[in-house]
Chain A
Amino acid sequence: MSNAISISGLVKNFGHVRALDGLDLAVATGEIHGFLGPNGAGKTTTIRVLLGLIRHDAGSVALLDGDPWTQATELHRRLAYVPGDVMLWPNLSGGEVIDLLGRLRGGLDTSKKDKLLERFDLDPTKKGRTYSKGNRQKVALVAALASNVELLILDEPTAGLDPLMEAEFRACMEEDRSNGRTVFLASHILAEVEALCDRVSIVRKGKIVESGTLAELRHLTRTTISAEVTSNPGSVVGFNGVHDVRVHDHKVDFEVDSDRLDEVVRSLAPLGVRSLVSHPPTLEELFLRHYQDDVDLGSSETET
């Protein structure tokens, strides 16, 4: 079994709204896969299809080599889920909810649970509404992490957690990674994704627009270069894969498609390089490019 999740051409309509529009996604077994995208992109919808909570209109979906709609019950024994909006029963204590969800899944590891309660500094005797948002989130997280399942599906699990608890969550994920657990993590927190994820998929308007390791994604975008040359830098404008050229005397700033970097640096050398600064795109730049509507997505791909 190589893929924990494989989706192709997934379509889901809610009335006239097309929430998923031919989404393709592969999550390899054992990896931590980041799932990113702007609000309303279709992350939660994808997860709900994976959990068999909603039917899909077209495409194929395989979860742990099974069909999430027809084999929901069997598959759910092998996964744990943390919803984005955690709602608890007002008359059940957090401890009861954790035990209940664990038992419904087919058992939970009590010693692991006790450790997690301590690590997340969670009081299990409080009831429903008396938990703050972050603490409600922790109840769901402990319930999921305390299980010994092979796949975790997490929908913005750290929304509402304070930085300390978020660090604790990352530590838990690192442990899970070394235990070979597969994690599918929808998130808006880039630092978290950068720190944890082996691979990332970016979804926009119900379609995957980018998928790969962070290094690969970086590679697909532009590197910023500032150079000072001895001759006139005007010819830089004509280089292939160069954008946003700003010339000031002998100085030139520009952006270059990362896969053309080598070529451009070679062409730059004859101009007599006195100084050269290059920095790779920050993760923010990377994501903002995909999140913003007005960026023309096609351009970088069609040029290559």
Chain B
Amino acid sequence: MVGTGSLVRLILQRDRLRLAVWVILLVAVPLGTTSAFIELYPDAASREQLAATVSSSPSLVAVLGPLYDSSIGGLVTWRVGVIAAFLIGLMAVLTVIRHTREEEETGRRELLGATVIGRHAPLAAALIVAIGAGVLIGLILTGGFIGMGLPSAGSLAFGLGLAGVTATFAGLGAVSAQLTEASSSAKSIGVAGLGIAYLLRIAGDVGESSGALWVSWLSPIGWFSQLRPFAGEQWWVPALWGGLTLMLVGGAFAVSSRRDVGAGAFPPRPGPAEAGPGLRSASGLGWRLQRGALLGWGLGLGVLGMVYGGAADSIGDMLEGSPQLAQIFEQMGGEQGLTDTYFSFVVGVIALLAAAYAIRAVLRLRVEEENLRAEPVLATATPRSRWAWSHLVYGLAGPVLILALAGVLGGLTYGLISDDVTGQVPRVLAAAMVQLPAVWILTGIAMALYGLAPRHVGLSWGALIACLVLGQLGQILQFPQWTLNLSPFTHVPNFPAQEIEMVPMVLLLLVAIALTGAGLIGFRRRDIG
């Protein structure tokens, strides 16, 4: 462990901006929501009405989380708790892998290995930074909630819960980092784990009334809701995170002490001695490098679409017994109106994730370039534009496939439940597809940055985070309309809740084409490397 301290400082120095963005995002969203809720729901009656709507709507529980108390704290926990837990888990996984496996993969770790640094120090340092960030966020939130007048027990539970989620997913990141040689596969494993935790929690929370809540207990994200901040805290729940974290971290250190630097836990299998017929062009290479991610994201978002579709309300049943509820739903546009609103919200979430895939796919160009693997290809008869397209195509066509799959599966599950397959599949599919122009704007931003300002391609992720904050939270946080208009997702029609309007779609498309074109032209003119 010698040298852990100096490595921690090194990580903090390298990541100060990145970590600051995470901390600000994860602190600002819950606190902003709290202040908005205090204003929006000043009296108990209005809060109870909201709580009643939410509790009776499996779809709201599915996308956001279960609601256990109608106090401000309870509402905030429902509205942003699970999202925050998911995002903080993502931060933990990515941060740990970034400073362990990625360092090994690029060979920087070996440079450090030669200095006075214990073999476990890099892993320990990455864990300290990631968990430290989670604890810091938890502390600020606890203080902030208390400062805004929320009960201290709930405030503490909220903060503690996020810190627990961070620790567990930092542990998962640490284990993933040990398993594979490529940091991209390690990230996929970690993020897949996070996705599974999220899906388990949906299944459990939505099925709570039919006794399926135990499924939520399988998920470290589900534990966050079950800690019940502001709703009769169950103080023993954090022990679950603690125990799982210890197991994961212990496992990671055990594997790490047995394997070589740079190697994975499983020795890679030998490959073919000759290239197959598919590997004869830049596009063949692109497919080889992109297919795994496309498959993973396609499957993941397909399953998410299915789960969301399955959680869409069969509200009719509940309405029969409760005239008051029926009235509330009427105000919100009736059953069909509510489902439509739900689907347009859900496809918005899936579209953001599809945009994350698209950015990743385009930035593979930068990964190849930085790792000096672009040069040998560009020194062959492959024109630059063809090489760029061999990855860019995944950023453009990938979201089409992913959104189509999620839309069809979502429509299919909902159609099966509501006995209307032929009606729902095209509706939900169309709802997903109209998001494409907005997704392509992010593809275009990534490509433009890659072609024109390759050192700043990371800003693409900033753009995505901005869309997330503006689109998912902008309205609760009461941002002014012009800021909301900055997000392309604001301009795609909320089909099926609203009609499809062609003009904004065409405009978005033109902007996306302009950005992508600018990136391609810039790339053809600039220096490689």
A binds B: yes
The answer to whether A83 touches B376, judged by C-beta atoms less than 8 angstroms apart, is yes
Q: Given A103-B280, A140-B376, check contact A93 B273 (CB 8 Å).
A: yes
* Contact call A104/B272, Cβ cutoff below 8 A: no
Q: How far, in whole Å, are A105 and B281 apart by their CA atoms in the complex?
A: 9
- Interface locus among A71-79, A168-176, A220-228: A71-79
Cβ of B380 under 8 Å from chain A: yes
Cβ of A72: which chain B residues have Cβ within 8 Å of it? 378, 383-384
Is residue B262 within 8 Å, beta carbon to beta carbon, of the partner chain? yes
Q: Are A100 and B275 in contact (CB-based, < 8 A)?
A: yes
Contact with B along A77-90 (1 / 0, CB 8 A): 10101010111111
One of A124-132, A247-255, A288-296 at the interface: A124-132
A99 close to B274 (CB less than 8 A): yes
- One of B285, B373, B378 near A88 (C-beta < 8 A): B373
Could you tell me the distance between the alpha carbons of A90 and B180 in the complex, rounded to whole angstroms? 10
B382 cross-chain contacts in A, Cβ below 8 A: 73, 76, 104
CB neighbours of B182 from chain A (8 A): 90-91
A87 engages B373 (CB within 8 Å): yes
Complex-state Cα separation, A95 to B271, whole angstroms: 8
Asked whether A92 is an interface residue with its Cβ less than 8 Å from the other chain, the reply is yes
Residues of chain B with a CB closer than 8 A to A101's CB = 376-377, 380
Q: Are A103's CB and B281's CB within 8 A?
A: yes
Chain B 263-287 residues near chain A, CB threshold 8 A: 263, 267-276, 279-282, 284-285
Decide if A48 touches B275 in the complex (CB within 8 Å).
Answer: no
Cα A105 to Cα B382 with chains together (Å): 7
Q: Which of A30-38, A49-57, A207-215, A271-279 binds B?
A: A49-57
| Cα–Cα, bound, A81→B383 (Å) | 16
B84 CB to nearest A CB, Å: 34
A95 and B275 in contact, given A53-B379, A106-B381 (Cβ under 8 angstroms): yes
Contact assessment for B383 and A93 in the assembled complex, using a CB-CB cutoff below 8 Å: no
B371 in the interface (beta carbon within 8 A): yes
Quick check: is B501 within 8 A (CB to CB) of the other chain?
no
Query: Do residues B380 and A129 form an inter-chain contact, with CB atoms below 8 A?
Result: no
**Does B289 lie at the interface of the complex (its beta carbon under 8 Å from any beta carbon of A)?**
yes
The reply to whether the CB of A96 lies closer than 8 angstroms to some CB of chain B is yes
- Which A residue's beta carbon lies closest to that of B270? A125
Judge whether B289 and A89 touch: CB under 8 Å.
yes
Question: What's the minimum C-beta distance from B111 to chain A, rounded to whole angstroms?
Answer: 14
Supposing A87-B372, A124-B273 touch, asked if A48 and B381 sit within 8 A by C-beta, the answer is no
CB distance from B439 to the nearest CB of A (A): 27
Given contacts A87-B372, A126-B271, contact A100 B527 (CB under 8 A): no
B292 to A, closest residue via Cβ: A91
Q: Is B102 an interface residue (CB 8 A)?
A: no
Q: Does B288 touch A at the CB level, under 8 Å?
A: yes
Q: A130 touching B376 by the CB < 8 A rule?
A: no
Number of interface residues of A (CB under 8 A): 42
Chain B interface, >50% SS class: loop
Q: Is the CB of B181 within 8 A of A129?
A: yes
In chain A between 12 and 55, which residues have their CB closer than 8 angstroms to a CB of chain B? 48, 51-55
Which single residue of chain B is at the shortest CB-CB distance from A143? B376
State which residues 449-489 of B face A: CB under 8 Å: none
Contact B373 A89 (CB under 8 A): yes
Residue in B270, B276, B526 whose Cβ sees the most chain A Cβ within 10 Å: B270
Output the least CB separation between A207 and chain B (Å). 21
Q: Provide the bound-state CA to CA distance between A85 and B526, in Å.
A: 21
A93-B270, A95-B271, A124-B273 known; A48-B529 Cβ under 8 A: yes
How many chain B residues touch the partner (CB < 8 A)?
41
Q: Are B282 and A85 in contact (CB under 8 A)?
A: no
- Residues of A with C-beta under 8 A to B271: 91-93, 95-96, 125-127
B272 lies within 8 A of A125 (CB): yes
Asked whether, in the complex, the Cβ of A104 is within 8 Å of the Cβ of B281, the reply is yes
The reply to whether the CB of B521 lies closer than 8 angstroms to some CB of chain A is no
Which residues of chain A have C-beta atoms less than 8 A from B289's C-beta? Answer: 89, 91
Structural contact, A53 and B375, CB atoms closer than 8 A: yes
Q: From B525, which residue of chain A is reached at the shortest CB distance?
A: A55
Residues on A with beta carbons closer than 8 Å to the beta carbon of B281: 103-104
A60-76 CB contact bits vs B (8 Å, 1 = yes)? 00000000000011101
* A85 contacts across to B, CB distance below 8 A: 372
CA distance A105 to B181 in the complex (A): 29
Contact (Cβ within 8 A) B375 A83 = yes
A175 CB, min distance to chain B CBs, angstroms: 23
Q: Is the CB of A99 within 8 A of B275?
A: yes
- B528: interface (CB < 8 Å): yes
Residue in A closest to B375 when the chains form the complex, CB atoms = A83
Whether the Cβ atoms of B272 and A128 lie closer than 8 Å is no
Interchain CB contact (< 8 A) of A54 among B279, B288, B377, B528: B528
Q: Once the chains are docked, how many angstroms separate the CA of A216 from the CA of B527?
A: 36
- Chain A residue at minimum C-beta to C-beta distance from B374: A53
Query: 8 Å CB contacts to A: which residues of B328-384?
Result: 371-373, 375-384
A92 close to B378 (CB less than 8 A): no
Q: How far is the CA of A279 from the CA of B209 in the complex (A)?
A: 98
> Roughly how many angstroms separate A90 CA and B371 CA in the complex, as a whole number?
11
Closest to B263 in A: A129
Residues of B within 8 A of A48 (CB): 528-529
Q: Which residues of B contact A77 (CB under 8 A)?
A: 381
Residues of B within 8 A of A81 (CB): 376, 379
- Give the distance in Å from the alpha carbon of A151 to the alpha carbon of B280 in the complex: 22
Please tell me if the beta carbons of A128 and B181 are within 8 angstroms of each other in the complex: yes
In the assembled complex, the Cα of A72 lies from the Cα of B524 at a distance in Å of: 11
| Chain B residue nearest in CB terms to A78 | B381
User: Which residue of chain B is the closest to A49 with respect to CB atoms?
Assistant: B527
B270 contacts A126, C-beta separation under 8 Å: yes
Q: Which single member of A53, A97, A125 contacts B378 (CB below 8 Å)?
A: A53
Q: In the docked arrangement, what's the CA distance between A80 and B420, Å?
A: 61
CB distance from A57 to the nearest CB of B (A): 11
Encoded as 1 (CB less than 8 Å from any B CB) or 0, chain A from 106 to 124 comes to 1000000000000000001
* A95 and B273 alpha carbons, distance in the complex (Å): 5
Pairwise interchain contact B527-A96, C-beta atoms closer than 8 A: no
Closest Cβ of chain B: how far from A30's Cβ, in Å? 22
Taken together as a complex, chains A and B put the C-alpha atoms of A71 and B182 apart, in Å, by 35
Q: How far is the CA of A40 from the CA of B46 in the complex (A)?
A: 71
21 of the cross-chain contacts (CB-CB < 8 Å) are: A48-B528, A52-B378, A53-B379, A53-B529, A54-B527, A54-B528, A54-B529, A72-B384, A76-B382, A77-B381, A88-B373, A89-B373, A91-B289, A95-B273, A100-B279, A101-B380, A103-B275, A103-B281, A124-B273, A126-B271, A129-B263
- Point out residues on A near B: beta carbons under 8 Å: 48, 51-55, 72-74, 76-77, 79, 81, 83, 85-93, 95-101, 103-106, 124-130, 140
Nearest first, the 8 closest Cβ-Cβ pairs linking A and B are A93-B271, A99-B275, A104-B380, A125-B270, A54-B527, A95-B273, A81-B379, A96-B275
Chain B residues engaging chain A, CB cutoff 8 angstroms: 105, 181-182, 262-263, 267-276, 279-282, 284-285, 288-289, 371-373, 375-384, 525-529
